[in-house]
């Protein structure tokens, strides 16, 4: 296939699209509970360090491969490898990325379905006057009902695949444009309210005063995986977006903006959620249900609480929607690159992801007792292994490809900076990011 001529409408559109991919479940759902499970501030510090040392340089590597190749991830990798006289087998890295996003999208759609459920429940005023225990019990009842969960999973995946089938929609640009400011506004409102509660002080201490006593090599693995996940790096998904990047744009500037927005959302969400946790005397290590139990309580305290809560879940839903569209894109692009029509490719991807998603749905009911590995349920495994092992592994290979294998003049042109900027990027990726991923994976897993 020849290089694509399609481009994002403007530099701003590209930044918004990547931000849309980055900001999602990772910031508002995963960040608080994983931080809660890993002891708070020390984890946060590690995660931010990984964003800077690994996330950003590898994100640039990933996008520049797509931009230099201007094809689907598999084809870009194959094409650039051939240009450099290296093995065409590098294209299989694109397939590995597709497998990673396949696994991620399968639970992503299920958890986003919970947002639909909560949105509807809050519009109906179902949370009015409930305490922490009642909200938690309601959530448990929902999880144990496979039919309701399958329904919202189906609905969400359908929403995603229709947009993907229609092509990388320019409509997204407008959506992203509106979404980010609104999301920030509500998060600020929530954090502002949190500042008036008793739990605010303890929440800040918990989030920002690190205690390194509890940090094990495995905590490093969790923090690294989360850095990749939240930035959407390591699965060739951003590579697919890089293919449509405008000709003249500096990649470091673009990803810098994305990272600031992304970490900002997580911090605000963390402050709001942990303030509720400490005000209510809840356990920070509550797990994946954390935000679903805390947010309804937080909003209930505000004037017009039900209204804010509904709006908030609606915004979250839109944020996960833009991320899941990005998750689906590389799979559809790869199939399309092999000659399948876009609509068919989207249908095939949608159906397979839907089936895989049932595993997550059922692991709260029929399969609740099924612990195939490490005494974890299917849901725990699918939310952990692809994020914490496949993404870093994919990111590692992408980094090796971009900084060692592909023609370096093409890499330089695609980074869109001068000579110095390129050298700096190359040195960081070659001598910091690549060894660091290897070190953390080996130390944590062996
Ligand atoms: N970054 C997204 C989030 O935080 C998840 C994601 C991972 C999207 C990998 C694309 C690729 O929710």
Q: What's residue 237's pLDDT?
A: 92
Among 21, 33, 389, which is best to mutate for testing ligand 1, by the most ligand atoms less than 8 A from CB? 21
The answer to whether the CB of 164 is under 6 A from ligand 1 is no
CB-CB contact of 21 with 262 (8 Å): no
Give the whole-angstrom CA distance, residue 257 versus residue 238: 15
Please state at what angle helix 171-194 crosses helix 305-337, rounded to 10 degrees. 140
How many whole angstroms from 387 Cα to the centroid of ligand 1?
9
Half-sphere exposure of 45 (CA within 13 A, CB side): 12
230 lines ligand 1 (CB under 6 A): yes
What radius of gyration, in Å, describes the C-alpha atoms of the chain? Answer: 21
36 lines ligand 1 (CB under 6 A): no
- Residues whose CB falls within 8 Å of the CB of residue 264, separated by 6 or more in sequence, listed in order: 184
19, 23, 26, 322, best to mutate for ligand 1 pocket (most atoms within 8 Å of CB): 26
- Which of 197, 281, 380, 262 minimizes the C-alpha distance to 21? 262
pLDDT tens sequence for the chain (446 residues): 678 888 888 888 899 889 988 999 999 999 999 999 998 999 999 999 999 999 999 999 999 999 999 999 999 999 999 999 999 999 999 999 999 999 999 999 999 999 999 999 989 888 888 888 888 898 999 999 999 999 999 999 999 999 888 875 555 677 777 888 888 888 898 889 889 989 999 999 999 999 888 889 999 999 999 999 999 999 999 998 899 999 889 999 999 999 999 999 999 999 988 998 898 888 888 888 888 888 888 777 777 878 888 888 888 898 899 899 989 988 998 898 888 998 999 999 999 999 999 999 999 988 888 888 888 899 999 999 999 999 999 999 999 999 999 999 999 999 999 899 999 999 999 999 999 999 999 998 87
C-alpha to C-alpha distance for 116 and 317, rounded to whole angstroms: 7
- Which of 103, 258, 326 most suits a substitution to test ligand 1, by most atoms within 8 Å of the C-beta? 326
For tokens 């959620």, the residue is 273
- With a 6 Å cutoff on the Cβ, whether 395 touches ligand 1 is no
| CA 326/CA 331 separation, integer angstroms | 10
68 close to 406: Cβ distance less than 8 angstroms: yes
Ligand 1 centroid, distance to 59 Cα (angstroms): 12
Please tell me if the CB atom of residue 229 comes closer than 6 angstroms to any atom of ligand 1. Answer: yes
Pocket lining: 267 vs ligand 1, CB cutoff 6 Å: no
pLDDT for the residue 1: 61
Cβ atoms of 52 and 46 within 8 Å: the answer is no
State whether the beta carbon of 225 lies less than 6 angstroms from ligand 1. Answer: no
323 lines ligand 1 (CB under 6 A): yes
Helices (H) and strands (E) in the chain, counts: 22, 0
**Ligand 1 binding pocket includes 21 (Cβ within 6 Å):** yes
- Residue minimizing CA distance to atom 11 of ligand 1: 232
Ligand 1 neighbourhood includes 73 CB (under 6 angstroms) = no
- CB of 112 closer than 6 A to ligand 1? no
What residue's CA is closest to ligand 1, atom 6? Answer: 232
Q: What angle do CA 432, 12, 168 make, to 5 degrees?
A: 90
Does the C-beta of 19 come closer than 6 Å to ligand 1? no
Q: What was the pLDDT predicted at 168?
A: 59
Cβ–ligand 1 contact at 165 (below 6 Å)? no
- Cβ atoms of residues 94 and 77 within 8 Å: yes
Tell me how crowded residue 127 is: count the other CB atoms within 10 A of its CB. Answer: 21
Q: Is 27 in the pocket of ligand 1 (CB under 6 A)?
A: yes
Interval between CA 86 and ligand 1 midpoint (Å) = 30
In contact, 214 and 36? CB cutoff 8 Å? no
- The alpha carbon of 102 and the centre of ligand 1 are apart by a number of angstroms equal to 12
pLDDT of residue 432: 97
Asked whether the beta carbons of 234 and 395 are under 8 A apart, the reply is yes
Q: Distance of CA 385 to CAs 47, 342, 423, 444, Å?
A: 18, 29, 34, 13
Residue nearest to atom 9 of ligand 1 (CA): 232
pLDDT at 404: 97
Task: Say how many Å lie between the CA of residue 144 and the centre of ligand 1.
Answer: 26
Is the C-beta atom of 26 inside 6 A of ligand 1? yes
Pocket test for ligand 1, best of 19, 109, 110, 230 (most atoms within 8 A of CB): 230
């Amino acid at each position: 296939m020849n290089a694509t001529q399609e481009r994002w409408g403007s530099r701003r559109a590209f930044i918004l699209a990547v931000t849309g991919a980055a900001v999602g479940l990772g910031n508002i759902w995963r960040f608080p509970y994983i931080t809660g499970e890993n002891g708070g501030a020390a984890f946060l510090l590690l995660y931010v360090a990984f964003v800077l040392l690994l996330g950003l340089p590898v994100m640039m590597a990933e996008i520049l491969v797509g931009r230099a190749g201007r094809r689907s991830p598999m084809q870009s990798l194959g094409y650039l490898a051939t240009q450099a006289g290296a093995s065409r087998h590098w294209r299989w890295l694109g397939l590995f990325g597709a497998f990673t996003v396949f696994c991620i999208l399968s639970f992503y759609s299920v958890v986003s379905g919970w947002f639909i459920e909560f949105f509807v429940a809050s519009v109906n005023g179902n949370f009015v006057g409930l305490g922490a225990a009642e909200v938690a019990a309601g959530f448990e009842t929902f999880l144990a009902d496979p039919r309701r969960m399958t329904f919202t999973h189906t609905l969400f995946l359908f929403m995603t695949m229709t947009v993907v089938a229609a092509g990388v929609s320019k409509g997204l640009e407008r959506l992203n444009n509106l979404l980010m400011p609104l999301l920030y506004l509500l998060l600020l409102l929530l954090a502002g309210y949190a500042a008036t509660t008793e739990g605010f002080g303890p929440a800040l201490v918990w989030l920002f005063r690190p205690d390194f006593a509890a940090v094990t090599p495995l905590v490093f693995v969790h923090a690294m995986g989360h850095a990749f996940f939240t930035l959407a790096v390591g699965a060739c998904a951003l590579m697919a977006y890089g293919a449509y990047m405008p000709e003249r744009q500096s990649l470091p500037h673009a990803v810098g903006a994305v990272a600031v927005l992304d970490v900002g959302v997580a911090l605000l969400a963390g402050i709001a959620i942990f303030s509720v946790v400490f005000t209510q005397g809840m356990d920070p290590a509550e797990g994946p249900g954390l935000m679903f139990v805390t947010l309804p309580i937080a909003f209930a305290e505000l004037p017009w609480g039900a209204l804010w809560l509904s709006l908030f879940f609606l915004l979250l839903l839109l944020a996960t929607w833009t991320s899941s569209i990005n998750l689906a894109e590389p799979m559809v692009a790869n199939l399309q690159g092999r000659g399948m029509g876009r609509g068919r490719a989207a249908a095939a991807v949608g159906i397979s992801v839907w089936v895989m998603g049932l595993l997550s749905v059922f692991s709260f009911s029929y399969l609740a007792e099924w612990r195939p590995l490490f005494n974890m349920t299917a849901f725990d495994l699918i939310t952990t292994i692809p994020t914490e092992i496949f993404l870093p592994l994919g990111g590692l290979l992408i980094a090796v490809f971009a900084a060692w294998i592909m023609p370096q003049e093409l890499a330089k042109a695609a980074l869109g900076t001068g000579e110095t900027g390129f050298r700096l990027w190359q040195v960081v990726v070659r001598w910091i990011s690549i060894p660091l991923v290897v070190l953390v994976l080996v130390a944590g897993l062996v």
